C-alpha cells in the first residue's frame, strides 16, 4: 500500500481559498445581505419605495424592540459580580473551583471591558443573528516609558538592575550634601501575557456553510483589513508582505459594512505610491482541519493568509480551542446561524410604516383638500393655485369652487396599527405593558397585571437563558483553559478588599460550569421581596445550624443588588476564611441536656486520652529538649571557635600583608638610592674620559 501523502503548502493554500470564498458570512452573500437589511431597518432608513410629495415616515419598531430588550439582558448579566460559577469535579477541586470562579469573572470585568463586551455581543445577536466574541492569550510585549528625578544610588541601582528595564536617558547630579543623584528615563517592557476579549463584527467572521457549531466546524476564520505596516510589525516577512495585492473592489462594496457605517470605504487616491505602508489588505486568520503529516487524521492548524491570492503568512499547529464564542437569541436546530429579533419584526416595521404613511397622507389631504374649479368663473387663476391657509379667491359667481370630499381613514389606520402592535407583542413580548405604565394599567388588578408581565417577560427570559447556556458558558470555559495553559506564575488580584494569589497551574481546566442569570429576572420590588423571604427562611434555619456567614453574605448581596447598589462589603462585615463556613449558632442556643451530657462524656474521655499521651511523651520531650540544648550549646561553642580562628587568620594575613608592603617600600627606596649613585658615578667617569681623550677636547685633533 502506497504511503499516504500529507497536505503541502500549495494544497493548503487552495483549501484555504476554497473555504474562505465558500464560507458563510462572506461579503455580499445572502446572509450578509440579510444582516445589512437588518441594520438599515434598525437605523430607520428609507425602504426605496418612497414617492415624492407623499409621506415618507419610517416606523422604528426594530430599533425600539432591540433597545427595549437590551437593558433587561444587561441587568440580568451585570447585576451580580459572578455571572458564572465553576463546579468542582473532585473533592480536591472544591476550593479551586471558587478561586477559578473569582478569577475568571475578574478577568472578564477588570482586565477587559466586561460591560461593553456584553453590550456589543448581545446587540449583534439581537440585530444580526449571531454575536461573535474573540478570546485569546495575548503575549505581545507591552512597553511603558517612565521618568524619574533625584534618585539616590540605591534606588537607581534597584531600577536599572531590573531585567525588564532599558535605560533611555541618564544624568548624574552632584548634590549640595555631597551625594550623587540620578535623573533617569527608562522603557519598561512587560512580557507577561494576558487574556484578551474583543467583540468581532459579524461580517468579519467566517465559518463553513455546513457547520453546526464552532468547536466542530471544518473551517473558522476571522477576516479583516490590515495595513502593510501592521503585518510587518507582527513579524511577517517584509518581502512577502510588500508584494501583496488586495481586492479593493470587495473592500468598497461590502454591503454590511456600508449599512453599519453609512458610508462606503474609499481607497485614497495614489495610496499605493504615496503611503504604501498604510495600504490595506484583507488578512484572514483561519483555523482549519487538514492532514498535514499524512497520518490520515486531520489536525487543527492556524493559518494566516493575506491578499487576493491568499498568500500564506504563517502556518502552525493549534491545540487550544478556537478563540471564538457565539450566541444567538433564537436557536435553529442543526444550524450554526440562528435568527435575530430583527428578523421577526422587519415585516412589521414595513407594514406599520406603510399604514402610517397612508394615514398621514389622508390627514394632509383632509387639511388641504383638493377643489374643483370652473375656470371661466375665476377672476385670477393664480389665486386658485395657491395652497396657503386662509387664502382669498375672487370668483364671478357663487359655487364656482367646490371641495372634493376626502374619505376619513384615520380610525381604520389606528385600528390597523393596534393590531400590528399586538402581533409584534406576540412575537417578541415587547408591548406598552412591558415598556412602562399603560393608560389603563392602574385600573387592572395586580394579579392580572403580574400574569401579563410574566408572560411577556418569558420570551426575554428565554433569550437570557439561551445566551447563558451557549455563548456565555463557552466564553468563560475558554478563559479558564487559556489561563490554565499559558499563565506560568501566580498573580495577585484584589477580591473583596483582599489581595489573593491566583495560580491556575494547579487547577482543573475541565471543571463544570453553571450560569447564574435567574437573579436578574423580575422587577426590583420582586427581587427585594424574594430577598426578604430568603432572610426569613435563614433566620428559621439558624437555630438548626444550617446557615453559615457565607450563606448570609450571599443573601445580603442579592438584596443589595436589587436595591441598585454594589459591594456587600461596604455595608456588612462578614467573617472570612474557614470561620465563614462554620454554622452560626444564636446567642444562648445550645444542644439539649442529653446531647450535652454525651458531649461532656466524650470531652472527658478525650481529655483523659490527651493526658495519657502527654504523660507518655513528657519524658521523650525532656530528653529531646536536653539534646536540643546540648546541640545548641555545642554549635554555639563551635561557632565561637570558628569565629576566633577566622579572626586570628584574618589578623595574621593583614599583618603579613602590611609587613610585605613595608619591605617592598624599603626595597624600592634602596633601589632608587643605588640607581642615583650609579648614575652619578657614570657621569663622573664619562667626564674623566672626555678630559683624557684629545679627540673630544675642544679644538683638539686626533694624534
Q: What confidence score (pLDDT) does residue 694 get?
A: 54
Asked if residue 266 lies in contact with residue 279, where contact means CB atoms within 8 angstroms, the answer is no
How much is the pLDDT for 208? Answer: 92
Alpha-carbon distance 313 to 293, whole Å?
Answer: 19
CA 631 to chain centre: 59
**pLDDT score at 494:** 84
Chain Cα centroid distance, residue 172:
43
pLDDT above 80 (res 317):
yes
Interatomic CA distance for residues 517 and 495, integer angstroms:
21
Minimum mean pLDDT among 93-102, 222-231, 256-265, 344-353: which range? 256-265
pLDDT tens for each residue of 236-276: 888 888 888 765 544 555 677 777 776 555 555 444 456 77
For 9, the 3-state DSSP assignment is helix
pLDDT, greater one: 574 or 188: 188
pLDDT at 350: 92
Mean pLDDT of 662-674: 79
Question: Do you know the residue count of the chain?
Answer: 703
Backbone φ, ψ for residue 411 (5° rounding): -65, -45
Strands (E), 273-393: 280-290, 299-306, 311-317, 324-327, 371-373
All residues at 6 or more sequence positions from 358 whose CB lies less than 8 Å from its CB, including other chains: 55, 409, 413
In this predicted structure, what is the pLDDT of residue 284? 92
Q: Note the helical H segments in 79-145.
A: 93-106, 114-128
Most trustworthy range by pLDDT among 219-223, 238-242, 527-531, 605-609:
219-223
DSSP one-letter code for 59: -
Which secondary structure element, helix H or strand E, spans residue 634, and what is its range? helix 593-692
The dihedral of CA 237, 242, 248, 252: what is its sign? Answer: positive
What's the farthest any 2 CA atoms get from each other in the chain? 171
Is the pLDDT higher at 592 or at 157? 157
263 vs 333 pLDDT, higher one:
333
CA angle, 214 then 217 then 219, to 5°? 105
Which triple of cell numbers denotes residue 392?
382669498
pLDDT of residue 447: 47
pLDDT, tens digit (0-9, with 9 covering 90-100), for 441-489 = 334 444 444 555 555 677 888 899 899 999 999 999 999 999 999 998 8
Give the per-residue pLDDT at 703: 38
pLDDT digits (tens, 9 = 90+) for 563-620: 766 666 667 766 766 666 667 766 555 555 555 566 566 666 766 665 666 566 565 6
- Identify the helix (H) or strand (E) that includes residue 657: helix 593-692
Rounded to whole angstroms, the Cα distance separating 48 from 514 reads: 47
Q: Tell me whether strands 219-227 and 311-317 are parallel, antiparallel or unpaired.
A: unpaired
pLDDT in tens, 113-136: 999 999 999 999 999 999 999 999
Q: Which three cell numbers stand for residue 186?
A: 527608562
Q: Which residue has the cell 395657491?
A: 386
> Between 341-367 and 30-42, two packed helices, what is the crossing angle to 10 degrees?
50
Q: Which of 243-252, 505-514, 673-682 has the highest mean pLDDT?
A: 505-514
Determine the angle formed by the axes of helices 61-78 and 410-428, rounding to 10 degrees: 30
- Percentage helix, strand, coil, to 5, in the chain? 55, 15, 30
Rg over CA atoms, the chain: 44
pLDDT above 90 covers a percentage of the chain that reads: 20
Residue 566 confidence (pLDDT): 65
Give the residue from 19, 174, 231, 195 showing the smallest Cα distance to 105: 195
pLDDT tens digits, one per residue of 404-431: 777 777 777 778 878 788 777 777 777 6
Domain-by-domain residue ranges, the chain?
A: 7-46+218-321, 142-190, 344-435, 523-590, 593-696
Helix (H/G/I), strand (E/B), else coil: 24? strand
> Are the C-beta atoms of residues 472 and 117 closer than 8 Å to each other?
no
pLDDT of residue 220: 95
The pLDDT of 661-689, averaged and rounded, is 79
Average pLDDT on 58-73 reads: 91
Give residue 285's pLDDT.
93
Q: Between these two residues, 390 and 302, which has the higher pLDDT value? A: 302
pTM of the model: 0.70
Distance, first Cα to last Cα, the chain: 117
Which of helix, strand or coil describes residue 79? coil
Residue carrying the nine cell digits 505581545: 140
For 219, the 3-state DSSP assignment is: strand
Amino acid at each position: 500500500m502506497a504511503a499516504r501523502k500529507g497536505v503541502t503548502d500549495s494544497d493548503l493554500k487552495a483549501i484555504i481559498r476554497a473555504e474562505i470564498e465558500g464560507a458563510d458570512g462572506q461579503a455580499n452573500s445572502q446572509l450578509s445581505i440579510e444582516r445589512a437589511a437588518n441594520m438599515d431597518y434598525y437605523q430607520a432608513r428609507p425602504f426605496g419605495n418612497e414617492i415624492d410629495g407623499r409621506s415618507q415616515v419610517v416606523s422604528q419598531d426594530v430599533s425600539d424592540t432591540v433597545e427595549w430588550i437590551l437593558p433587561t439582558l444587561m441587568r440580568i448579566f451585570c447585576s451580580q459580580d459572578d455571572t458564572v460559577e465553576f463546579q468542582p469535579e473532585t473533592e480536591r477541586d472544591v476550593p479551586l473551583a471558587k478561586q477559578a470562579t473569582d478569577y475568571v469573572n475578574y478577568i472578564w470585568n477588570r482586565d477587559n471591558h466586561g460591560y461593553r463586551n456584553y453590550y456589543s455581543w448581545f446587540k449583534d445577536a439581537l440585530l444580526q443573528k449571531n454575536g461573535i466574541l474573540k478570546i485569546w492569550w495575548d503575549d505581545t510585549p507591552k512597553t511603558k516609558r517612565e521618568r524619574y528625578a533625584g534618585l539616590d544610588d540605591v534606588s537607581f541601582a534597584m531600577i536599572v538592575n531590573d531585567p525588564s528595564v532599558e535605560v533611555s536617558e541618564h544624568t548624574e547630579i552632584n548634590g549640595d550634601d555631597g551625594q550623587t543623584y540620578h535623573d533617569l528615563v527608562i522603557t519598561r517592557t512587560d512580557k507577561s501575557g494576558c487574556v484578551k476579549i474583543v467583540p468581532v463584527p459579524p461580517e468579519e467572521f467566517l465559518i463553513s456553510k455546513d457547520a453546526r457549531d464552532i468547536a466542530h466546524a471544518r473551517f473558522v476564520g476571522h477576516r479583516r483589513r490590515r495595513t502593510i505596516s501592521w503585518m510587518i510589525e507582527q513579524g511577517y516577512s517584509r518581502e512577502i508582505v510588500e508584494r501583496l495585492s488586495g481586492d479593493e473592489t470587495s473592500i468598497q462594496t461590502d454591503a454590511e459594512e456600508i449599512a453599519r457605517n453609512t458610508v462606503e470605504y474609499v481607497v485614497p487616491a495614489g495610496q499605493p505610491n504615496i503611503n504604501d505602508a498604510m495600504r490595506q489588505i484583507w488578512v484572514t486568520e483561519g483555523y482549519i482541519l487538514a492532514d498535514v503529516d499524512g497520518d490520515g487524521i486531520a489536525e487543527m492548524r492556524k493559518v494566516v493568509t493575506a491578499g487576493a491570492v491568499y498568500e500564506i503568512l504563517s502556518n502552525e499547529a493549534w491545540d487550544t480551542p478556537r478563540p471564538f464564542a457565539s450566541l444567538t437569541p433564537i436557536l435553529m436546530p442543526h444550524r450554526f446561524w440562528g435568527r435575530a429579533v430583527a428578523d421577526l419584526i422587519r415585516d412589521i416595521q414595513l407594514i406599520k410604516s406603510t399604514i402610517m404613511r397612508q394615514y398621514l397622507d389622508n390627514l394632509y389631504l383632509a387639511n388641504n383638500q383638493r377643489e374643483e374649479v370652473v375656470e371661466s368663473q375665476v377672476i385670477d387663476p393664480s389665486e386658485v393655485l395657491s395652497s396657503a391657509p386662509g387664502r382669498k379667491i375672487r370668483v364671478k359667481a357663487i359655487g364656482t369652487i367646490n371641495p372634493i370630499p376626502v374619505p376619513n381613514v384615520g380610525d381604520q389606520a389606528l385600528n390597523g396599527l393596534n393590531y400590528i402592535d399586538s402581533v409584534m407583542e406576540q412575537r417578541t413580548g415587547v408591548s406598552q405593558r412591558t415598556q412602562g405604565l399603560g393608560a389603563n394599567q392602574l385600573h387592572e388588578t395586580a394579579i392580572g397585571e403580574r400574569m401579563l408581565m410574566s408572560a411577556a417577560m418569558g420570551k426575554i427570559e428565554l433569550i437570557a437563558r439561551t445566551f447563558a447556556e451557549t455563548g456565555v458558558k463557552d466564553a468563560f470555559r475558554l478563559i479558564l483553559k487559556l489561563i490554565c495553559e499559558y499563565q506560568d506564575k501566580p498573580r495577585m488580584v484584589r477580591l473583596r478588599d483582599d489581595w489573593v494569589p491566583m495560580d491556575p497551574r494547579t487547577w482543573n481546566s475541565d471543571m463544570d460550569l453553571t450560569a447564574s442569570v435567574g437573579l436578574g429576572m423580575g422587577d426590583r420590588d420582586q427581587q427585594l421581596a424574594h430577598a426578604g423571604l430568603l432572610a426569613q427562611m435563614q433566620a428559621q434555619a439558624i437555630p438548626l445550624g444550617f446557615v453559615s456567614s457565607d450563606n448570609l453574605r450571599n443573601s445580603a448581596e442579592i438584596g443589595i443588588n436589587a436595591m441598585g447598589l454594589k459591594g456587600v462589603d461596604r455595608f456588612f462585615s462578614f467573617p472570612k476564611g474557614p470561620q465563614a463556613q462554620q454554622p452560626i449558632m444564636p446567642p444562648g442556643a445550645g444542644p439539649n441536656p442529653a446531647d450535652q451530657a454525651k458531649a461532656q462524656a466524650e470531652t472527658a474521655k478525650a481529655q483523659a486520652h490527651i493526658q495519657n499521651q502527654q504523660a507518655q511523651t513528657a519524658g521523650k520531650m525532656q530528653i529531646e529538649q536536653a539534646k536540643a540544648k546540648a546541640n545548641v550549646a555545642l554549635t554555639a561553642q563551635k561557632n565561637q571557635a570558628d569565629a576566633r580562628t577566622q579572626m586570628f587568620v584574618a589578623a595574621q594575613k593583614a599583618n603579613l600583608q602590611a609587613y610585605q608592603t613595608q619591605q617592598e617600600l624599603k626595597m624600592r627606596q634602596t633601589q632608587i638610592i643605588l640607581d642615583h649613585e650609579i648614575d652619578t658615578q657614570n657621569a663622573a667617569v664619562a667626564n674623566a674620559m672626555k678630559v683624557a681623550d684629545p679627540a673630544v677636547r675642544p679644538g683638539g685633533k686626533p694624534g
